[in-house]
Chains A and B, each alone.
Chain A
Amino acid sequence: MEGFLNDLKQFFRSFLSGGGLNLVKAAAILVLGLLAIRLLTFAVRKRAVKSRRLDNAASAFVTSMVSLVAYVALALALIGALGFSTAGIVAAFSSVMLAIALGMQDALSSLTNGILLIFTKPFRAGDYVDIGGTSGTVREIKLFSVKVTTTDNLTVIIPNSTVLGSVITNYSRMSLRRLEIVLPVSYGEDVDEVKEAVGKVVRSDARIAPLPAYFFRLTEYGSDSLNFTLRVWTEPGDFWAVKFDLLEGILRAFRERGISIPYRQFDVHLASAPSGKREKEA
């Protein structure tokens, strides 16, 4: 009986001072860790959602990443608290991640570029862009690719690695876009009358922004004509319609006032063949 009690005493003593203590320590770390993670993810989610630079997908991604890192850290802390060595686990985890990364280089490159796209926002869904020669309206920005619809209704999927490696022209980013038209007029025309005719057409179009004010001046003495440059500002969505309407409207206004637009004319001289050769062909 004495021996049994001694053995029991030894067992409980070693358990309470060793494994038992580690268990309780791990439980405390778990509870406090979960509390810290909850507070951290709440704060990160709040900051990310309210941020104007991150959209819904991006804020969800950021929150998930922070949460994942926090849970991994908590797991390692628990393993350490229970008395196991974390070095081996970290080494094994690193090897696995390296193998995955090597095997998925291209996909990871697109993913990284996708994250950069989400954060830097060179364009948004709905913008009309040109990405390395592909023009169209951005429909979706995902983590691996961007979906663009061209003007002839084709859907083009561009990998994010290609997007960020190309020159991106965003036609929709600014609220106004400048339209420039060069108008050739015959040398004999009155400059003031030309200006009045064009000014009337420009002022009658409500889509042309009043500010910045339009520009219309004689800018070149061409070899065949006086070249006037017209510059107006309009919303990107109205750009082409305004351009076509201006061209047609100015032409009508010129015709009404008798202002001529010169065009190249060629004089053709027909040369006849020598008489000897003509008889031979006959």
Chain B
Amino acid sequence: MSARAIFTRPARLAAIVPYLWMVLFFLVPFGFVMKISLSQTAIAQPPYTPAFDLTAGLAAIGDALAALSLDNFRLLISDDLYLLSYLRSLFVAVVSTGILLLIGYPIAYGMARLPRRWQGIAMMLVIVPFWTSFLIRIYAWINILQHDGLLNRVLLALHLVSQPVVWLSTESAMYLGIIYSYLPFMILPLYATLAKMDRALEEAAADLGASPFKVFWLVTFPLSLPGVAAGVLLCFIPIVGEFVIPDLLAGSNALMIGQTLWLEFFTNKDWPVASAAAVFLLVLLLIPLLVYDRLQRRQFEEVK
């Protein structure tokens, strides 16, 4: 037996504890979500008296419907509230991922063009905000966007507007927050592919007479597609289920599915409907999740 083969067996044994942990705390819980999502509203209720308030009017109607139909999934499809919040989540995720790609690509490209010793620093600078709390970064924007916040004061001082503009609780504030929070997730995989790319290919194309746009479109961009795919998935999937950003920056008139789920769970205490919403969301994300899993695994296989 070769030395490598001898090493393999204990390495496999190392999987046992984390394997069991992930089965117990990641896989099994999904079983419970499935189970509760199929059960009736009343079963999970005993410890919690339903607390309806006026702000949850629509969801409360949905609740009554669930009790009638006894079918949380049928409710999800039949009630506009859920369908709309699913569609809205997908729409928001598609739009913001698109903007992220448009903003992130030039930044990643600029990083990859820096001299080697500067690249590490630039990467660090992009990673640091990723380490800084999500919540704090959103709060930082509330500071700036509020009625008498910095942005309005600057705009007023420059006479660009005559009255303070309402920024908070708007669509634009939400998109701004999402783009701000997820930008590092887009830049890093793009940078990783662009930095590895052989610059000679671009030069060859340029020497052979391709215009700069053609060089980019026919050489650079196709070669960076793995990074594009990774960045897009890394942003798209979590944005669909995003809760904090729409909750704090967008108004409460149109909800994303993460908020609906949260509302069902914490405000309406309707665990079955919340679970059904989670299952639905998961099914919606299954294909992008599988593609992402594939990409991840291939990446590590390549390194080896």
B is bound to A: no
Q: Name A's B-contacting residues (CB within 8 A).
A: none
